Amino acid sequence: MIENIRVAMIGLRSNKLRSALTMLGITIGVAAVIVLVSLGQAVENYVRDQFLGIGTNLLIVFAQPNENGETQRLTLDEARALADPFRVPDALYVMPQRNVTTTATFEGREITARVLGATPDYLTVRNRQLVAGRFFTPAEMDSLARVAVLGPEMAERLLPGVYPVGQTIRVNGLTFRVEGVLNRVGGAGFGPNEDDVIIAPLTTVQTRLSGERVLSGDRPISNIIVQARSADVVDDVAQQIRETLREERGISFRDEDNFQVFTQTELLDSLGNITSLLTAFLAVIAGISLVVGGIGIMNIMLVTVTERTREIGLRKAVGAQKQDILMQFLTEATTLALVGGTIGVTLAAGGMLVLRLALPELAASVQPSSVLLATVISVMIGVFFGIYPANRAASLNPIDALRYE
């Protein structure tokens, strides 16, 4: 085997250009597969970290239309029922939210803004921090105070070049005092971009920025976010929420829920399935170049057999067996594939380094599993596409081979 490898390397060096062109398909294919698989894993990890960065063990409750197309909006009374420790004992926090889209103005600059009505538990539930100022207090929420906390993108859009804390802005024609600015978390999470938002007390948003009421006279809310005590009880909390809301809404056992409960785990699993499928699809497309490279190896090995017919006859004449010739040419084909694969791994590592420098937040890197996969594929291609030329060489009649010109 060592001698076969030595002869294969001599053959590669003696026809450098031909060898390089033969390996090009394998090199490109291996590099593409590694880069795409590693990039897919990096994107999946990045999105997962973004989701986990907005809070852990979260569940979100939405209203949904019933079979008649009617939607019963969520209310604060239902949020208070979910906050009852006797009814949902495994819930750590229950935070109702109200989304309103309106206009915001500062010194003549007017923009369209999303206003989120929340409770003082927002920072804890959503795992956010303040980079300036403070958050509103329970007393301000009870008194319907017109105070606001801005996301970083909202601060840049509405108050460019101005220190936001202490400034007075107008939201839907009403004056609000900016009390704080949140840290940047990006666009991942439950719903829209959480950096481009104005956060105000829920009661203020319900009464001063929205006049909507449900049939009972209560003011509606958009959704309810519940944080479970631990990851182990998330499913239990989801069941407790369903039972409580069905009881609050008087839903009989025969009827379907007119609300939905999503868990963070379900969203992450769904997203993981999508990214994994996309990564596999891209890897298959990149793998086509590996097949093309394998065909190139088969083609060049067939040419090599023809060129070395007399050599094969001479080897057989001095005692080489069929399996010796077979192993020699199979080793040469596999060596071509492995060398091409090694170059492809090197190129992929360089490409991922450039990508990491360009997009450091992705933390992209070559995964050991990708390198192992590329190595196995290279060997398989060398064996698969080299077996026919090798078998053809091994089957040559030594007399005819020696006579070949």
Residue 42 forms part of a structural domain: yes
Percent of the chain with pLDDT over 70: 93
Within this chain, do residues 377 and 330 fall inside the same structural domain, yes or no?
yes
pLDDT over 60 at 11, yes or no = yes
Q: Are residues 205 and 117 in the same domain?
A: yes
Q: Are residues 28 and 134 both part of a single domain? A: no
Q: What pLDDT digit, counting tens, does each position of 232-273 carry?
A: 888 899 999 999 999 998 888 888 888 888 887 777 777 777
Q: What is the pLDDT of residue 106?
A: 94
Question: Considering the domain boundaries, does residue 59 fall inside one?
Answer: no
* Mean pLDDT score across all residues of the chain: 83
Whole-number pLDDT of residue 190: 46
Q: State whether 219 and 95 are in the same domain.
A: yes
Q: Are residues 88 and 219 in the same domain?
A: yes
Residues 86 and 222 in one domain: yes
Structure tokens at 159: 């108050």
Is the domain of 10 the same as that of 107? no
User: Domain for residue 74, yes or no?
Assistant: no
Q: Is residue 224 over pLDDT 90?
A: yes
**Confidence band for 323, pLDDT divided at 50, 70 and 90:** confident
**Is residue 100 scored above 60 in pLDDT?**
yes
Q: Which has the closest alpha carbon to 326: 378, 383, 393? A: 393
- Do 337 and 222 lie in one domain? The reply is no
Q: Give yes or no for residue 374 having a pLDDT over 50.
A: yes
Report if residue 285 sits inside a domain. yes
User: Do residue 349 and residue 398 come from a single domain?
Assistant: yes
Distance CA 189, CA 202 (A): 20
Q: Based on the fold, state whether residues 99 and 200 are members of the same structural domain.
A: yes
For residue 25, being part of any structural domain is answered with yes
Domain-embedded: residue 268: no
How far apart CA 229 and CA 91 sit, in angstroms, is: 6
Same-domain status, 196 and 298: no
Which range of residues forms the domain containing residue 327? 2-50+279-403
Q: Which of these three, 211, 226, 241, is where a domain ends?
A: 226
- Assess if residue 273 is contained within a domain: no
Which tops the pLDDT comparison, 104 or 324? 104
pLDDT range class, residue 364, cuts 50, 70, 90? confident
| Residues contacting residue 232 through CB under 8 Å, at least 6 positions apart | none
358 is a domain residue: yes
In this structure, the strands spanning 109-118 and 174-182 are unpaired
Dihedral (C-alpha) 48, 50, 56, 61: value to the nearest 10 degrees?
Answer: -90
Q: Which of 226, 261, 292 is the last residue of a domain?
A: 226
Name which of 106-120, 184-198, 327-341 the model is least confident about.
184-198
Quote the pLDDT of residue 53: 58
CA gap 29, 31 in Å, rounded? 5
Average pLDDT over residues 149-153: 94
Number of domains in the chain: 2
CA quadruple 320, 323, 324, 330: dihedral sign: positive
For the stretch 41-97, pLDDT in tens is: 787 777 777 666 566 688 889 988 877 777 888 999 999 999 999 999 999 999 999
pLDDT level of residue 103 (50, 70, 90 thresholds): very high
Determine the 3-state secondary structure of 46 from DSSP.
Answer: helix
Residue where one domain finishes, among candidates 226, 246, 268: 226
In this predicted structure, which of 190-194, 301-305, 322-326 has the lowest mean pLDDT? Answer: 190-194
Lowest mean pLDDT among 166-175, 283-292, 338-347: 283-292
How much is the average pLDDT of 181-206?
Answer: 82
pLDDT surpasses 60 at 187: no
C-alpha to C-alpha distances, 191 to 97, 113, 171, 237, nearest whole angstrom: 12, 15, 22, 21
Domain co-membership, 108 together with 222 = yes
Provide, rounded to the nearest whole percent, the portion of the chain with pLDDT above 90: 32
